Amino acid sequence: MVTELPLTRILNTHFASTADNLLAALHVHPANPQKPIDNAFAMELLVFCVLIAYFIAVRLSLSVEKPNVLQHAAEAINGFVSDQSESVIGHGYERFVSYISALFMFILLCNMVGLIPGLESPTAKVTVPLGCAIVTFVYYHYHGLRVHGFAYIKQFLGPVWWLAWLMLPIEIISHFARILSLTVRLYAKRILSLTVRLYANMFAGDLVTLAFFSLIPAGIPVIFLGLHFGVALIQAYIFMVLAAVYLSMAVAHDH
């Protein structure tokens, strides 16, 4: 049975009826109407609020003469994403930096929040990576249509006109397969998260168990946490790069 986190419990206490009404309007019926909000959504909401607060704090504290730590961090992230976007997308990359930056920070923070006691990574639930993948799918197709108009369909027909009837279904399937690819790449972190959590739970046993594990060097838990951080960072980076690659292919003119 899934343990309800404190934040999830608070949200269900105050907003369960609102969530039920919203879901009913969408013809969705939660398994437990008294607790329609799950841990993954609560953690997503927390990450969203943290990012909004961070962006507001950076905006209010902008200074040319005395930039603070928040501004330095924002400039570093923006510079990093801009460099990656320029190398992948090329001309006109500036238009997409805001989305790619927000995507990178959201995924990274979702991955990292599970390191905090009492919280868990929302990306451990498959619907969260799937949602990020679908939003990216819609986003790059929108810009493909914006740039090329109806001619965007040429990307699905291939370079040889008499093979268009064969290439069209293949390309459509390959594009939908990108949703699965992005989802699986991000959802795979669940294995590491469960491993780290299992190791942490081993310390919550009886006194004999605690005495036994007290003999283990203190650096071992740090290694697991470092591994979690490294995988979280790599996955956010890969997701960001793949989003940039799909965007570059959608808006490119040389097909």
Predicted TM-score (pTM) of this structure: 0.84
Cα distances (angstroms) measured from residue 190 to each of 8, 52, 65, 231: 20, 26, 44, 11
CA-to-CA distance for 122 and 129, rounded, in angstroms?
9
Q: How far apart are CA 212 and CA 113, in angstroms?
A: 29
| Neighbouring residues of 23: CB distance < 8 A, sequence distance ≥ 6 | 29, 30, 36
Alpha carbon distances (Å) from 106 to 158, 191, 237: 35, 20, 11
Q: How far apart are CA 61 and CA 83, in angstroms?
A: 24
| pLDDT of amino acid 120 | 87
Question: For residue 226, is pLDDT > 80?
Answer: no
Residue 211 has pLDDT above 60, yes or no: no
| Owner of token pair 């203190």 | 218
- What would the mean pLDDT of 83-101 be, rounded to a whole number? 93
Tell me the percentage of the chain whose pLDDT exceeds 90. Answer: 50
User: Could you give the CA distance from residue 120 to residue 99 in angstroms, rounded to a whole number?
Assistant: 25
In three state form, how does the secondary structure of 43-102 look?
A: HHHHHHHHHHHHHHHHHHCCCCCCCCHHHHHHHHHHHHHHHHHHHHHCCCHHHHHHHHHH
The span from the CA of 208 to the CA of 90, in Å, is: 60
Residue 221, pLDDT above cutoff 80: no
> Which pLDDT band holds residue 184 (cuts at 50, 70, 90)?
confident
- Could you tell me how far CA 105 lies from the centroid of its own chain? 8
- Per-residue pLDDT reduced to its tens digit, 125-135: 889 999 999 99
Among candidates 78, 80, 79, 90, which has minimal Cα distance to 249?
90
State whether residue 172 is helix, strand or coil.
helix
Q: What is the pLDDT of residue 1?
A: 57
